[in-house]
A = this chain, B = another copy of it.
């Protein structure tokens, strides 16, 4: 049973237990007729004496909530009307329709599976958990000790510390994005930037264009505003501009959400030509582009391409950057670069969302940027991740059964795989979890059910040993389901999609 004890409380333990069970009965978490956990078992669970449980149950009996019968154990009584039982809120009418429509699959079913303890996890989207390369933040914590600076814990301006915004504006200028300090907004993770962009612009029914597949939490933010979401397919050069143009002939979207660099989950990189075309289309149709550049620093095989923000000169691009991948996700720190008018509007809404960004995280990142040449810092990180990408790719080549399609990404931290026909990602996950191997099923990345035939494999987090072992297990399970299904597959190569 779901009971939390406070052993330091003056309230006797048996009363704490009785009260919580009573509440569960009143909240209808324990329904009439349901059997309570046997006394001895509950005593073990809670690490208390059996007599404590006996006392708690006795109290509940006296108050008419439960009764014990030989052979039946202790059951919740029907119509225990000693106190007038108040009824719960009417849940169905309580929640807003937009929220009720949320896809809870990810939260309820996938998230616990991503817990990396005792599991080889290909399901996360974060940095390596090995010793090397060392996290830049460890040294900074030493500074915190010497004298926790007032700035690190006090209130910050809504848009973030000015000094940090100056550093970030300078960094942006280096990458070709001409901007001033008041075009930079510090975010509680770049996710907040997606959410704010949606909140300031989208009225229910407004159209948002996304890539198919697209980042699931972006889809969720757009849904939360009541947006009508339209997908544009991708190929090896990213979002297909011919499809987008067709769509723009019929509809007038307010926003195009894209991740041109090593997209999550497909790891595709949008070609320079398409980047230019996208900017041109945005200008011609007056559409805002939300450019999510979470993976731009993770380049392995070519020179980085310019961001859309650096190609735009008219305020049509909102650029989002994050420190979750380059430093650590626990910081919850990212930033937005956009036209002043957009930043101002985001500040207004952000105030009501979380008031201002976390001061300690801002302080740590500011020190990091002051003391670190970020580009230099990323060189060993990238070479480390490149090795892991190669290893995962080669292991897949070696073990993947016929019909499984994948390709070697030029950057980012994922390999995106299409499963053999009629094979379900969710079912595969059930099987691999029995061998303590997890990954992210493709389901949440599409609006349609198509996603269930894809899986996203992260190579930055697991160790090389884990990659070898885990990919082998995964491929064996694919093969085994395929055999179980007795699916007749067309002759088809293991080789990459292109």
Contact = CB atoms under 8 A, between A and B. Distances in A.
Given A148-B141, A181-B2, A360 B314 contact: no
B217 A328 contact: no
Interface stretch (A96-104, A407-415, A477-485, A490-498): A96-104
A355 interface: yes
Interface stretch (A195-203, A241-249, A421-429): A195-203
A153 B330 contact: yes
Nearest to A346: B99
Interface string A341-356: 1001101110111111
A338 B95 CA distance: 14
Given A153-B331, A341-B91, A352 B144 contact: no
A331 B315 contact: no
Contacts of A235: none
Interface string A444-477: 0000000000000000000000000000000000
Contacts of A145: 141-142, 144-146
A107 to B, nearest CB: 6
Residue from A90, A94, A364 whose CB has the most chain B CB atoms within 10 Å? A94
Nearest to A125: B155
A19 interface: yes
B203 A96 contact: yes
A314 B91 CA distance: 12
A221 B203 CA distance: 16
A78 interface: no
B360 A315 contact: no
A286 B89 contact: yes
B348 A104 contact: yes
A188 interface: yes
Contacts of A98: 203
A419 interface: no
Q: Which of A200, A204, A340 has its CB near the most chain B CB atoms (within 10 A)?
A: A200
Contacts of A169: 4
Contacts of A341: 91
Given A20-B178, A95-B345, A178-B20, A360 B199 contact: no
Contacts of A356: 332
A339 interface: yes
A481 B329 CA distance: 53
A427 to B, nearest CB: 24
The binding surface of chain A is classed by DSSP as helix
A106 B26 CA distance: 44
A209 B89 CA distance: 17
Given A153-B137, A200-B96, A353-B191, A90 B286 contact: yes
B144 A20 contact: no
Given A166-B4, A283-B86, A328-B154, A180 B354 contact: no
A88 B288 CA distance: 10
A173 interface: yes
A358 B91 CA distance: 30
A356 B106 CA distance: 14
A6 interface: yes
Interface string A133-167: 00101100110111010101111111000000010
Interface string A172-212: 01100011111000001101101100011111100000000
A48 interface: no
B354 A188 contact: yes
Contact of A3 (B20, B141, B180, B364): B180
Given A94-B201, A199-B224, A355 B339 contact: no
Given A182-B2, A191-B354, A315 B89 contact: yes
Nearest to A83: B313
Interface string A1-21: 011111011010000100110
Interface of A: 2-6, 8-9, 11, 16, 19-20, 23, 26-27, 29, 86-91, 94-99, 102, 104, 106-107, 111, 124, 126, 129, 135, 137-138, 141-142, 144-146, 148, 150, 152-158, 166, 169-171, 173-174, 178-182, 188-189, 191-192, 194-195, 199-204, 217, 220-221, 223-224, 254, 283, 286, 288, 313-316, 328-332, 339-341, 344-345, 347-349, 351-361, 364
25 contacts: A2-B181, A4-B166, A4-B169, A4-B181, A26-B314, A86-B283, A87-B283, A89-B286, A90-B286, A94-B288, A96-B201, A138-B148, A141-B148, A145-B146, A153-B328, A154-B328, A188-B332, A188-B358, A191-B355, A192-B353, A217-B352, A224-B352, A328-B359, A329-B359, A332-B355
